[in-house]
Structure 1
């Protein structure tokens, strides 16, 4: 077996889920370390410098939101990609997580394939940064919104802007205010976007926007 390439920190209070994720990630050659509390999670983040963090919303003695806020306020750790896991599906939980800086949001129960794909996508985006950190080169991180070419080809400029605002966690009312258009117009745009991207189901557009229009990071030496 090849040596693990990437180190992942898992923060979760559910021991059964910890075992399930541990088996899954070990099988796919990830090096996993685990914690159940926000305090220990911060210590492990500083000690082991993981390549990615998977964090439950509910933790022992605190919450994943508090951990995420502390992580994003630490200059040495704020770049780390984080996938937030919630026990319930709700727009408010998702918006809260994304507004605090989560890179993806999964709802229990989720399929193993969903977690693996999310991990692979997030790690791919940060590979350049992680490699340069290991080599201890001086780097400057520039955050840049990135839109996949296939999305560009299907949506108008206004629809792309609305997609970006959805990914940033803005509500329909907030988007309408920012663009100086009616709520009904925003709703029509959301409907048209979903139709063009073949999206169906509750919160499907929000999830798609979050997973496909997240900020990427360009590294300047």
Structure 2
């Protein structure tokens, strides 16, 4: 899938990291880069990227400080952000998500995991950014959630239908587990059962099914 019309800002103090991720994404997206928080904030205000990928160490500060500065600026606070950590830490993940990151990946990550995360965040952002005309001629942001079709709900349990809805909202397995107050393993088991009921095979088949059959039809006028 070519989404070259979508633009992504890569923010990290490591030029090799910027090059590595750029090479992964250039076939699919337009790419901007920044090595410092100051440079990244300026790029956000001037270019308004569709998504930001941020590493831990920037030339002038840390990635967490950049997230705080981003979310404190109402002009650019809405931009979805994927944080790339250098090591796995439950405490750091929790802090980063609380600061305003939309997803959290750990190096080394799989190319497909990054692409799926990007696709999910962009789809979720598009859904939540629908606009409508209101009384007086102004514009108001509508918080719109894709609905699971009745025909699909009939095949699933209530929990499975809710998980499908959360996937459509852009939540990953970790976020779904937190929302349902269950373990990641329980969510994975539910997702496996859903895939079996829908006749799906392949590691990312359920996510692709949701994008094709729920998110994309929902976004059409």
Equivalence for 2:9 = 9
Q: CA deviation at 1:148?
A: 7.4
Q: How far apart, in 2, do the equivalents of 1:73 and 1:169 lie? A: 28
Q: Which runs of 5+ in 1 are unaligned?
A: 176-185, 199-211, 213-221
Q: How far apart, in 1, do the equivalents of 2:145 and 2:88 lie? A: 26
Distance 1:155 1:3, change over 3 A: closer
Q: How far apart, in 2, do the equivalents of 1:3 and 1:196 lie? A: 31
Question: How many aligned residue pairs are there?
Answer: 178
Equivalence for 1:101 = 100
Listed as ranges, the matches of 1:23-62 within 5 Å are 23-28=23-28, 30-62=29-61
Residue 155 of structure 1 contacts residue 193 of structure 1 at CA under 8 Å; is this kept in 2? no
Equivalence for 1:141 = 141
Structure 1 residue 79 corresponds to structure 2 residue 78? yes
Listed as ranges, the matches of 1:201-220 within 5 Å are none
Please state whether the residue corresponding to 2:79 is helix, strand or coil: coil
Q: CA deviation at 1:73?
A: 1.1
Q: CA deviation at 1:41?
A: 0.7
Q: CA deviation at 1:68?
A: 0.6
Residue 7 of structure 1 contacts residue 31 of structure 1 at CA under 8 Å; is this kept in 2? yes
Scaled by the length of structure 1, what TM-score is found? 0.64
C-alpha RMSD of matched pairs (Å): 4.0
Deviations 1:1-29 (A, max 9, x none): x893011110012221211111221122x
Scaled by the length of structure 2, what TM-score is found? 0.64
Q: How far apart, in 1, do the equivalents of 2:129 and 2:4 lie? A: 15
Higher fraction of strand: 1
